[in-house]
């Protein structure tokens, strides 16, 4: 059995296992929710700080080699990592994020919490602030990009106003590793936006994705399980469904680079180093080009500096 057949088998087993686990935990969910609320209402201590809730729309559009677009509704939570006693697992702490970004202020995490035993987060964002007197300023963001179905992850720093980052993760079997991510994110308030486009040396700006969401209010943490019930599952269904559509449209299937180019991470670092010292994307509608810029940004030999930082997480079982 070759690697492709093994991955298909693992995928089917993973889907079946997730369905069984989620079904069982969904049956137990009303009882668990009641117990959480009862414990908090009977506790002498104050309720944990509320978490901001956002509801919005994710848009994807591919222009080449075929046109394909879709959108779906999504719900996100915005955690204040300095005050939330129960943030979602498997993420950075506030102190870790401050150390990585060299910031001094609050750290907010935008993510989809796990639901009934399943976690699916293509993109999570940390908003890292500096304190200036009595006000705060959004200085840096950290993106956590996780691929499906492998569960690999790359984390990196970017400038929220607009930044260009070399593609550092195999996020889709219908995209190669060439190109760069142009990314920007607004300071979350009553509304928030995140926009990403892929600039490819041959296909140009051929893919865009965006999140636009509105703040609904706040919710104490014990109630998250109801608000986000099956939200990660819905995201996964959309990913798999549109992957099938791309396959049906004869978009070229790209094997995971770990089988064909084990040094793809090192190559991504080198491409990002060149972007940092030599060029940036200038946009004019759908036509984008690389504009030269100076190299007065300090020593770029150390990729994991305050200027740029990457961290990878390997695939989990059974993909490892």
Q: Give the pLDDT confidence score for residue 45 in this predicted structure.
A: 42
DSSP string, 184-236: EEPPPSSEEEEEEEEEETTTEEEEEEEEEEEEEEEE-GGGHHHHTTTHHHHHH
Question: How far out from the chain centre does Cα 130 lie?
Answer: 23
DSSP symbol at 286? T
Count CB-CB contacts under 10 A for residue 177. Answer: 20
Q: Give the pLDDT confidence score for residue 36 in this predicted structure.
A: 63
Residue 195 located in a structural domain:
yes
Paired with 85 in beta bridges are none
* Domain hosting residue 75, numbered range: 3-262
Strand 191-200, strand 204-219: pairing? antiparallel
Residue 270 located in a structural domain:
no
CB neighbours of 139 closer than 8 A, spacing ≥ 6? 101, 103, 105, 128, 129, 130
Work out how many domains the chain is built from and give that number. 1
DSSP symbol at 253? P
The pTM score is: 0.83
Q: Give the pLDDT confidence score for residue 118 in this predicted structure.
A: 86
Token pair for 29: 């969910």
Q: Give the pLDDT confidence score for residue 21 in this predicted structure.
A: 79
Q: Give the pLDDT confidence score for residue 308 in this predicted structure.
A: 80
Residue 133 located in a structural domain:
yes
Residue 301 located in a structural domain:
no
Residue 276 located in a structural domain:
no
Residue 268 located in a structural domain:
no
Q: Give the pLDDT confidence score for residue 222 in this predicted structure.
A: 53
Q: What is the mean pLDDT of each run of 10 residues along the chain (320 residues)?
A: 68 77 74 60 49 94 94 94 85 95 96 89 96 90 94 95 95 93 96 96 94 84 75 92 93 90 92 78 44 36 56 83
Cβ atoms 230, 115 nearer than 8 A = yes
Q: Give the pLDDT confidence score for residue 9 in this predicted structure.
A: 75
Q: Give the pLDDT confidence score for residue 4 in this predicted structure.
A: 64
Cis link prior to 149 (omega < 30° from 0)?
A: yes
- Residue 239 CA to residue 41 CA, distance in Å, equals 39
Among 129, 130, 125, 127, which residue's Cα sits nearest to residue 143? 125
Q: Give the pLDDT confidence score for residue 296 in this predicted structure.
A: 35
- Residue 128 CA to residue 95 CA, distance in Å, equals 11
Paired with 136 in beta bridges are 131
């Amino acid at each position: 059995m070759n690697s492709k057949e093994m991955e298909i088998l693992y995928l089917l087993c993973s889907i079946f296992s997730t369905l069984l686990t989620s079904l069982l935990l969904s049956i137990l969910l009303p009882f668990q929710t009641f117990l959480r609320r009862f414990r908090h209402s009977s506790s002498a201590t104050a309720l944990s700080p509320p978490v901001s809730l956002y509801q919005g729309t994710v848009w994807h559009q591919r222009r080449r080699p075929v046109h394909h677009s879709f959108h779906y509704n999504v719900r996100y939570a915005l955690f204040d990592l300095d005050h939330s006693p129960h943030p979602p697992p498997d993420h950075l702490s506030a102190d870790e994020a401050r150390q990585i970004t060299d910031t001094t202020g609050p750290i907010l995490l935008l993510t989809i919490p796990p639901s009934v035993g399943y976690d699916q987060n293509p993109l999570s964002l940390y908003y890292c602030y500096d304190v200036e007197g009595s006000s705060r300023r959004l200085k840096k963001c950290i993106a956590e990009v996780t691929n499906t179905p492998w569960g690999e992850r790359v984390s990196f720093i970017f400038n929220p106003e607009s930044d260009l980052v070399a593609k550092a993760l195999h996020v889709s079997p219908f995209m190669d590793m060439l190109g760069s991510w142009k990314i920007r994110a607004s300071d979350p308030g009553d509304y928030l936006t995140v926009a990403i486009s892929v600039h490819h040396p041959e296909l140009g700006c051929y893919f865009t994705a965006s999140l636009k969401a509105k703040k609904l209010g706040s919710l104490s943490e014990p109630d998250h399980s109801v608000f986000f019930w099956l939200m990660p599952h819905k995201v996964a269904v959309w990913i798999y469904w549109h992957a099938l559509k791309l396959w049906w449209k004869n978009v070229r299937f790209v094997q995971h680079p770990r089988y064909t180019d084990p040094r793809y991470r090192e190559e991504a670092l080198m491409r990002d180093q060149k972007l940092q010292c030599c060029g940036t994307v200038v946009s004019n509608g759908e036509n984008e080009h690389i504009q030269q810029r100076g190299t007065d940004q300090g020593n770029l030999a150390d990729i994991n500096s305050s200027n740029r930082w990457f961290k990878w997480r390997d695939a989990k079982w059974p993909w490892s």
